[in-house]
Structures are given as C-alpha cells and as structure tokens.
Structure 1
Amino acid sequence: MKAPAKPQAVRGMQDFLGEEAARFEHVVDRFRDVARRFGFRRVDVPVVEFTQVFARTLGETTDVVSKEMYSFEDRNGESLTLRPEFTAGICRAFISNGWQQFTPLKLVTHGPLFRYERPQKGRYRQFHQIDAEVLGAAEPAADVELIAFADLLLRELGIAGVSLQLNTLGDAETRDAWRDGLVKHFSAHADALSQDSRRRLETNPLRILDSKEPQDRPLVEAAPAIDDFMSTEAGAFFEAVAKGLQASGVDFIRQPRLVRGFDYYRHTAFEFVSDSLGAQATVIGGGRYDGLVEAMGGPPTPAVGWAGGIERLMMLTALPEAERPLVAVIPETAEAEAEALRIAQTLRAKGAVVAQSYKGNARKRAEQAARQQVQMILYVQDAERRASSLKLVDRVKDGDEGERARQAAVFGRLPDDYAMLSGGNEKPGQ
C-alpha cells in the first residue's frame, strides 16, 4: 500500500513553535501591557462576518474585496467572509450592540486575519495583527494618545530604525476640494499614467498618490498638495495633533503624499515605517475615520485607530532572555513520586516555574533539569519524613541577587514544614 502523502500547511499559512512562538508571544504581551497603561480594554469580534460588512467599508472595487477576500456561501446561501481586517468588524459590533452609550470607547484586540494574496516576506494569507481603536472621540487628543501608544509600544519592543510619517486628509470640505484638484491634474496627463492609475482616476483618484509605478512618479510629485486646499478648521486640527505629539516626545516626519483612499477618512493619517523591511516597510499604520460608522448604518461617530502586523514586528524584535525554571522537583525513589508531585504543585501555586520530567531515575532527571538551566534541584528522598527528607541543590551563581530574590519570594511563602528551603542551601557538588 502506498504511504499517504505527507500533510502540508496551506500556502501562505504558517506554524509557530520555539523561538518564533516566543517572539509572537513577546509582541502580544508587550501590546497588552502598554494598552493597559493607556487605559484600553479588550474587545473580541468574530473571525467570520457577512461579506457586506467588508464590501461596504473597503469598497466593492478595491483589490481586497475583488481579489483577496476569502468569501464563501454557507448552507443558507448567505455570503460570509473571513475577516481581512479588524476595523469593519469592530464598527459593526459597535452598531449591532448599541455601544455608543459607552463612548468614548478605547478598545484593543489581536488575532488572525485572512487575505488571498501572493505570500512573501512579512506577508501571509493568514496573518496576525494587533489593533487599537478609539470610538466616539472627535478631539485631536485622541489621535495623539493613539499615536503615543504605538510609539511607546515600539520602544518597549526595542525596535529601532522606525520613523513616524504623518499627514492630514483634512475635513470633508478640504478633502473634496483636494480630490477635484487631483482629478484635474491627473486627467490632463491621463495618457502618461499607468493602467492601474487610469482605473483609479475613475474610481479613487487619491490612491494614485500611492502608485509605485515609475511612469506615475513624476506626475505624483507634481500633483497639488492638500495644504493648497486646507480649510481653517482642518488646519487647526492638524496643528493640535502636531503640537500634542511634540509635547508627548513623539518625533514625526510630515509626509504630504500619505493618503487613505476612502471618503470616510478624515484628518490624521500616519504610518510607522521601518528602514529594515524593504518593500513591506510599514509596521503600524492608521488614521481617523469619522465617517465609517455612519456609512455602515450607525449614528455619526468620530473614530481613530491603527493596526500593526505581528509577523513584521516579530522580524524586528529581539527575543528576550527566557525565564529559567526556578526549580526541578525530583523523587529519589518510586515511593517518593507522589510526594514530589504534591510539592511541585504547591510551588506552582506559590508562583514558581517548576520543571518536571516524566520518567527516568533521579540521575537522568537531574541531567534533564540541568539542560533546562533550572536554578535549583529539590530532591525528595522519603515521603514519610517530609521536610527532613528534602535536599536542595542550588545552581545559582554567587552574586546573582535577582535570582536570589526570586527564590526567596517563592520559598518564603511556603508552609512551615518547607521553611528550611529558603536558607541553608547546598552548593552544586556538595
């Protein structure tokens, strides 16, 4: 009989173990910690939504909707889609559940997203993002806080070589006037545009400014800037954001060609861009989308948010030193096995990281513990005599006061019959 084919992961989807899993966890842990310090709370939304949730917010003609979404019909004939981004689902939940009564809402989430596109470095068909949103706040201070959140997160992750690029899309009056100016400019040179840009001229002219086609670049550089059309109110909003970032110690570069293509975007647009990732340089990007909730059928609701790719952040993050297990509990005889298990569970309940082996004699288990770089080995010699039968071998080097403090913090809280474990420890080889 022919052996079955070796099972493979779906193209563009990946498995994590070991160092990669540790990097992933590190990014998420830092994200949660910084979010807590800024007063954000967790939100969860479904992985699957009705397709119209994304078609309405991303636009029927965009590549994401027309080419990249994983959409399918369920047994009732409803068109469903695996989420390609978080914001639309969060806004849908905001409307569905009447969350406007809780505004301003400061929300964070993270998890898998799905897009059918060509896999490459830093880009996958199942990828993961961290996401932060503020709904129900129209003030520039909300934009400042969100950007400061992202800036602190990158610093906490130890990521260098990242610059914040900042722009404004103005208010509705400014945006409409700028759009008309761009249409006039690009229409006069339509024959020189790339095929994609000629299509965008009809559907979404602001996106021509994103073009990477060499033939488009001279026309993009010569296009009118938004500052030529800025209303007084929009200029004041952007100035307040800029001054707030300066007061918060967040450096930025004005990037007047940074845009968002949809009409519901307003005012602030920003990207944190790495100098180490080549074409996939943006690690966190976001902006203000005051018109989105209303466009989805909800009440007028100002909002601002950002998202960052976990895989890209993993590529830039140094893996922190793994925490060494505090202790290995090893029975010296088969009769002491149950007592060793009881002690190990007591230690874990007190906050210790306990290494455990499943088989082998005491010598082999000690060798396994040494490979795990445990700080101490606790031998259980006799279940009947309890504390008098415990032997502690200390593997921490002299002078390592941090590890000593961690030992004392755990063993100092143990029951009286284990009090001897906090002192009088034997050194290795004794």
Structure 2
Amino acid sequence: MTDRLATRAAELDAADPLAHVRDAFVRTDGVTAYLDGNSLGRPLHATRAALADFVDGAWGERLIRAWDEQWMDAPTELGDRIGRVLLGALPGQTVVGDSTSVMLYKLSSAALGAQHGRDEIVACADDFPTDRFVVEGLAAEHGHTVRWLSVDPRTGVTLDQVREQIGERTALVLLSHISYRSAWVADMAAITAAVHDIGGLVLWDLCHSVGALDLALDAASVDLAVGCTYKYLNGGPGAPAFGYVASRLQGRLRQPIQGWMGAADPFAMGESYEPATGIRRFISGTPPILGMLPMRDMLDLLESAGIAAVRAKSVALTDYAIEVHDALLAAYGVELASPRDPALRGGHVILDHPDFREVTASLWERGVIPDFRPPHGLRVGLSPLSTSFAEVLAGLRAVADLLGERPPLAAAP
C-alpha cells in the first residue's frame, strides 16, 4: 500500500507543471513535511535579497524622500495588484494596511453606519474567533442584535441557512468564504445576491481563499472583503491585511478610524478630517511599508503561474491527501472532516481523531508541521506553490506511524 502511494506521489510530482516553483522557497533540514502553509507560508529566497536592498536603497539611501517617491502610493498600488491577480477586482477597490482584525472592524463598522433603520448582523457561530469577536463588539457598540448561524463544523454555511436568518432588519452579513475548520467553500455569488435582495450588505473574509482559489469579487457583486497576506501570499508573520470596498459603496461608507493618512491631503495638517476620495479613505495610519515587501515577490510567482493553475494544483494536493487518509489513516479511526467534492473544498483538509492534540505535538518534534484545531482536528494545509505530493505522503505517513504506536481506542459501550 505504501509503495503504491509513494509511486503515485512520484508520478504526481513528475507531472506537476508548477514543480519547479518549489525551489524558490526557503527550506530547512529540520522540517520533513510542512503542512501548515495555510497558516504561515514559507519565505522566498527572493525576499531575503529584497529586504537587504530595501535597507540599503529606498530606506538607507533615499530616507524620508522615499515617502514622496514611492511609499505614499504603496497601499493602493499593491492593493490594485492583489485585486487584479487574485481577486477579480478592477483598480481602485483594494487597499493594503492594518491587521485582519482591524480591517474587519473598519469595514464592518462602516457598513453598519450606512445601513440606517437596520439593526441585525448575521454571522456564523463556528467562524474564526476574530470574526466572531469583532461581530460581538460591533453589536454592542451599535446596539445591534447578532443572528448566529449554526452550522455543521464538518461542512459550512449554505445559501438556505443564510436565507433563513436574513430579513428587512439585516444590516450586514459577515462570513468566511472558506471555513477555517472544514475548508468548506461557501457560495459567494448566490449568498451575496440573496442578501442584496433584502437590502443587506455582505463582508467576506477571504483569509483562506486568496492565493488558493480563483476569485471573482466584481463579477459576484461583492460589497466588502478582507483577507490576510501571510498564508498563501507568503507575506511573513504579521504581514498587513487587505480590504476590498466596491467602488459603488466608497462614497457612501464612512471610515470609522479617521487617521491622517486617509485624509484628502495628509500633509495639510488640517483642523478637521476630510476623507480622501476613493479607496484611499480607508487607510488610517502610516502604511506598513516594510511589511508589504515580502508579498510582492509572492505575487510575482502567483501571476507567473496563473491562479487557475494554482487552484488546479491545490485540488490535486487535497485530493491526494484524502487518498492517503483513506489508505493509511482510516483504519486507525481517523475521520475526514472536509468535503470530498473538490468544488466545495478549499486548500486544506481536516482530519479528526481523539488523540490528535498529542499526536500533533509529537509530529512537530519529528519535523512534521501540521496544526491542531480543537476539539480534535489535525489540519493539513497545503500551499500549492511550495508543497510536493511526496511531502504530503511523508507527513501523513508520520501520522499513521504515531497512531500505530498508541494503544487502540476503547470501543464505545
């Protein structure tokens, strides 16, 4: 069985049109299998040189002059590139800056402020903590009620579930496009249309989508979206988030954190705040220029590869992970907690077993790096451009080895 899986992995790697791109990423001898690329992407060799060039050049040589020469426009220029390469968004609708949590707050609060006479927020009870916590805080701040969607953690939010919760009082629906647990892909276009039908706005969290799926925000008439850049965009720990605001809404929404960099003329030092026109008004403080550097190199790779090819590789990787689960792990009582249908599955796979908290800790000691999500999910995150099929097999084979060393589970009474 193992020989067949190894042969299969070798065949898939040999046929992979993106295999050569793996050499662009920094690797260390201590890691046998990195299965957490959907939490923090590997760094690129090019980034090391880019950071050194930045210190010696734009920062070291040009100093403060670099603000006028290039840095002031960096949040919108990089935002436009993310929009073009990955989001299916025309220019002038995407901006880079802040953390994901802050960007979620800013765009959600702006949306609520524009929805006069509506006092309900719809969100998923099983969403990532930041999303839920931001919703709770906004509801308290605005005096709104939250209608929580209760979903099966092994699947995710459906159109019918959303329709059951929305109505004439709905101001905002905030959902993750891909469930951080199961990898379930929500129907963005259909859900957005349903919310629009009752006069609501939708904010999509794209943290597990951007760089793994082929997105089409403009075509789906998306209102608002937020995504991080340290997962599939390999921007590094703490890399800034991006926010998307459809051009039709920009003049209607008031940005809640009125900082000087979002003003019409930041250097006028005016007595009162006048927002910039367009997407720039959603900038608050000084842009994180240094934090934007690494993702530029990754965007070069993604644009060269093409997001359609990246998505095809992602599907192949997760298909193979499920194949290995069925062959090696199911016999130990491991359950697949992600959709088998690739059309409903993002770039990671969740495997459930009561021992996986302890197993994950042991895997890390052996140089196999997945992550653990309570109550007992081992999350296999597969970054398409940096992960090989052989790496997937090595990692999941280590899981099987550890389970084989543990006493069998007691039978249910």
Q: Does the alignment reach a TM-score above 0.5?
A: no
TM-score range, shorter chain: under 0.3
Higher relative contact order (CA 8 A, sep 6+): 2
Per the normalisation by structure 2, the TM-score is 0.23
Per the normalisation by structure 1, the TM-score is 0.22
Structure whose CA Rg is larger: 1
